[in-house]
Amino acid sequence: MGKKRVKVGLVGAGTIGKGVVDLYKRNSVLINNKIDFEVTLEKVADRDQDRLQALGLEDKKLTTDAGDVLDDPEIDVVIELIGGIEPARGFIARALENGKYVVTANKDMMARHGLELIALARQKNLNLFYEASVGGGIPLIRPLKHNLVADRVSRVLGIVNGTTNYIFTHMAQDDLSLEEALSEAQRLGFAEADPTNDVEGLDAAYKLVIMANLVFGKKAEFDRVYIEGIRGVTYEDIAYAREIGYTIKLLAIGEDLPEGLALRVHPALVPLEHPLASVRNELNAVFIESEASRELMFYGPGAGPMPTAAAVWSDVVEAARCLHFNVANGVVEKELEETGFVPVEALEYRFYLRFLVEDRAGVFASLANAFADEGVSLDMIIQKRRVGDLAEVVLVTHEVKEEAFRRALGKITDISAIKPNPSIIRLLN
Q: Please report, as residue ranges, which positions from 296 to 315 form the binding site for a copy of itself (by CB under 8 A).
A: 296-301, 306-307, 309-311, 313-314
What is the rounded CA–CA span in Å between residue 422 and residue 55? 51
Instruction: Give the nearer residue to a copy of itself in terms of CB position, either 42 or 402.
Output: 42
CB atoms under 10 Å from CB of 194, counted, come to: 9
Q: Is 210 in the site for a copy of itself (CB under 8 A)?
A: no
Q: Is 35 in the site for a copy of itself (CB under 8 A)?
A: yes
**Three-state DSSP class for 295?**
strand
What is the rounded CA–CA span in Å between residue 113 and residue 108? 8
Q: Is 37 in the site for a copy of itself (CB under 8 A)?
A: yes
Dihedral angle computed from the Cα positions of residues 44, 48, 50 and 54, in that order, rounded to the nearest 10 degrees: -30
Rule CB under 8 A: choose which of 9, 17, 114, 137 binds a copy of itself: 137
Q: Please report, as residue ranges, which positions from 148 to 207 form the binding site for a copy of itself (by CB under 8 A).
A: 148-152
Instruction: Give the nearer residue to a copy of itself in terms of CB position, either 138 or 353.
Output: 138
Q: Is 1 in the site for a copy of itself (CB under 8 A)?
A: no
What is the rounded CA–CA span in Å between residue 13 and residue 49? 10
As measured in angstroms, the least distance from the Cβ of 297 to a copy of itself is 4
What is the rounded CA–CA span in Å between residue 342 and residue 260? 6
* Active-site residue, selected from the candidate residues 18, 43, 107, 207: 207
As measured in angstroms, the least distance from the Cβ of 232 to a copy of itself is 28
Say if strands 378-387 and 246-257 run parallel, antiparallel, or are unpaired: unpaired
Q: How far apart are the first and last CA of the chain?
A: 58
Sequence-separated (6 or more) residues with CB below 8 Å from residue 34: none
Instruction: Give the nearer residue to a copy of itself in terms of CB position, either 129 or 222.
Output: 129
Q: In whole angstroms, how large is the CA radius of gyration of the chain?
A: 24
Q: Is 50 in the site for a copy of itself (CB under 8 A)?
A: no
Query: Which of 91, 137, 120 is closest to 311 using CA atoms?
Result: 137
| Region from 159-167, 180-188, 292-300, 389-397 binding a copy of itself, contact rule CB under 8 A | 292-300
Q: Please report, as residue ranges, which positions from 217 to 236 form the binding site for a copy of itself (by CB under 8 A).
A: 217
Catalytic, 207? Answer: yes
Q: Is 34 in the site for a copy of itself (CB under 8 A)?
A: yes
Question: How would you label 100-132 residue by residue, b for 16+ Cβ within 10 Å and e otherwise?
Answer: bbbbbbbbbbbbbbbbebbebbbebebbbbbbb
As measured in angstroms, the least distance from the Cβ of 330 to a copy of itself is 7
Instruction: Give the nearer residue to a copy of itself in terms of CB position, either 70 or 134.
Output: 134
As measured in angstroms, the least distance from the Cβ of 153 to a copy of itself is 11
List strand residue ranges (DSSP E) for 112-231, in order: 128-129, 153-159, 226-227
Residues in contact with a copy of itself by the rule CB under 8 A = 23, 27, 30-31, 33-37, 131, 137-139, 142-143, 146-152, 217, 273, 275, 277-280, 283, 285, 290-301, 306-307, 309-311, 313-314, 317-318, 321, 324-325, 327, 330-334
Point out the residues that are catalytic: 207
